[in-house]
A and B are shown apart, each in its own frame.
Chain A
Amino acid sequence: MVQNIIDVRNLSKSFDISSKEPDLKGTIKHFFRRKTKSLKVIKDISFKIKEGEIVGFLGANGAGKTTILKMLCGLIYPSEGSIIVSGHLPFRRKENFLKNITLIMGQKQQLIWDLPPIESFYLNASIYELDKFEAKRRIKKLSDMLEIDDELFIPVRKLSLGQRMKSELLAALIHEPNILFLDEPTLGLDINAQRNLRKFLKKYNKETNATICLTSHYMKDITSLCKRVICVQNGSISYDGKLDLLLKRLSPVKEILIVCHSEKDATKLESSGYSVKNKTKNEITIIIENHHFTSSLKTILNNFDIKDLYINEPPVDEIIGKILVKKDYDI
């Protein structure tokens, strides 16, 4: 039986936030009497993640996804509740725990700017106590997987964003961690670079059975990597389960564009009781609920003379966007 590698119970996090009114008056007031308030950004959340799972954290900006990742990797201290990751309390940052995890933040870098990435790789290898031979082997293996052989010896400042991101990944994975925390790893990358990165992560997960916790605003990252998603809204979990179930729940219908041989056929179809979205001459778009989609489609094909047919699934971005746009969307 696959065991839980992450166990989060009743986790909360509050931050002290100071607020300042605008203009000079506000500045002076702020100087003499600073107003601070405690803001609870994570509210009593609980979840478990199994070894080898890839879980996507979804939510609008400021929903608390990154804060959760930061607590899971031990970067920040939880205000309430408990977290156990790989048998450790993350915040204690014990060496054995740190050697098992990695955190990659799309907008942050750990590579030394003026030196080629290879220098940072060997530095990390030494921090994680790998001998030179093993470090060399892993650099070769990962650079092959990431396809960045030539870039290893070029100063980081001269690399493109995509090449830099791949190098960041290599630096973060040189110790072959079991748990990867990825905060928007494809941020700013072009479509090809995004696809390559996803391909790499999939391969890494398959080869090492690593657990991956991922946040991303690119839905393609989520749909191609994660079977399970956790939706975070205002610091609480509003959904934790399979991605396809969420999509079904958020979009219970499909649209079919039917091209009939004549306008008369289209009119006949219009009056046959289906929910019609729009109709133009011999083309008609109808909406069918997912749970009797197959039977409805069969009936239409058997009873009407149809020239062509297109099934439109609403784009995942659009469906997930419903959660992101409206902060208190009811899933």
Chain B
Amino acid sequence: MISNSLNRKIFTLLKVQYSNMLEYRVEIALWAISGIIPFFMLNIWTNNNLNESINISDIMLSRYFLCAFFVRQFSVVWVVFSFEEDSLLGRVSPYLIQPLNPFFRYFAQHIAEQITRFPFALIIAFFFFIFNPESIWIPNLSILFLSTISTFLSFLIQFLIQSIVACFCFWTEKASSIERLLFIPTLFLSGLLAPVASFPEYVKSWIYLTPFPYLIDFPANLLSGNKTNVFGGLSMQILWIVFLFLVFRKIWSAGTKKYTAMGS
């Protein structure tokens, strides 16, 4: 259970970070636009009739990629880069001696950015429907609720993975290079380029044991109304979050002992 005082701290952090993010509204609009990879992928899939091979209709595929775009918009994480920079420049030092783990600051930064990003994502979706009117659908409330939770859980998984990687800054100055290694499986196995359903059966069974399909594929399928195991997917997301959180705590505790407070 999160204590009341922690709740208050996070809420204030969110308010302040939201004000901060509003200073960068143009940049956020551009970041939102830069996340349109799923639409390119949709174009490649439909132009080459690749959807027939996985037995999914054009409409469902376009909805899937629109949802993938949405899930991606609300699960983009860059904590490793922020932490690496702050750590190298010694900006982490003042945060480390405050009674709040510095990662809460980054967490609030991400949530605030997502809130700022939301209207821009809606505008992009609006234009998507103008060009693809046949894809218009209104998901029912329970699906909307579950997929919102699933998207938030997907964000938490990404955030924890990157936070673990960020902790390597305590040992190596360039922890972001480890993140770049993880970017490859994230790109291919998350469902950003292709629904995981398009992979061969034996590959799929392995992919579902990793955290990657729960980043985009599962929440996007859930939101778009494709057939998916809701309970299984949400359970796997929660299991991954618990596991990653425990790893994070361990590595954070070991890493802070290695901190040299360079640059300050």
Contacts and interface: CB of A to CB of B under 8 A. Distances in A.
Chain B interface size band reads 20 to 34
Contacts of A275: none
Interface string A74-93: 11110000000000000101
Interface pairs A-B: 6 shortest CB-CB: A126-B12, A110-B94, A95-B99, A114-B23, A98-B99, A77-B257
Interface string B249-262: 00000001111110
Contact of B20 (A76, A114, A124, A129): A114
A115 B9 contact: no
Interface stretch (A99-107, A145-153, A290-298): A99-107
Contacts of B24: 114
Interface in B1-22: 5, 8-9, 11-13, 16, 19-20
A15 B99 CA distance: 26
Given A112-B16, A115-B23, A123-B16, A76 B99 contact: no
A103 B16 contact: no
Interface of B: 5, 8-9, 11-13, 16, 19-20, 23-24, 90-91, 93-100, 256-261, 264
A103 B97 contact: yes
Given A77-B259, A126-B8, A126-B9, A112 B20 contact: yes
B108 to A, nearest CB: 10
Contact of A123 (B12, B99, B259): B12
Contacts of B8: 126, 129
A268 interface: no
A15 to B, nearest CB: 6
17 contacts: A70-B261, A75-B259, A77-B256, A99-B99, A105-B90, A115-B19, A119-B16, A119-B19, A119-B20, A120-B16, A123-B12, A126-B8, A126-B9, A127-B12, A127-B100, A128-B98, A129-B99
A76 B261 contact: yes
A41 to B, nearest CB: 10
Interface of A: 15, 70, 73-77, 91, 93, 95, 98-99, 101-103, 105, 107-110, 112, 114-115, 119-120, 122-124, 126-129, 172
Given A75-B259, A99-B99, A108 B94 contact: yes
A128 B99 contact: yes
Q: By DSSP majority rule, is chain B's interface helix, strand, loop, or mixed?
A: helix
Given A115-B23, A127-B99, A108 B16 contact: no
A237 to B, nearest CB: 21
Given A105-B264, A115-B20, A75 B95 contact: no
A110 B95 contact: yes
A254 B180 CA distance: 66
Contacts of B256: 77
B98 A98 contact: yes
A234 B93 CA distance: 24
Contact of B97 (A15, A75, A109): A75
A124 B258 CA distance: 26
A114 B19 CA distance: 9
A109 B91 CA distance: 7
A75 B93 CA distance: 7
A105 B95 CA distance: 12
Nearest to A16: B260
A23 B11 CA distance: 52
Given A77-B256, A99-B99, 14 more contacts: A74-B97, A75-B93, A76-B261, A101-B97, A103-B93, A103-B97, A108-B90, A112-B16, A119-B20, A120-B16, A126-B11, A127-B12, A127-B99, A129-B9
Given A74-B97, A99-B99, A108 B260 contact: no
Contacts of B97: 73-75, 93, 98, 101-103
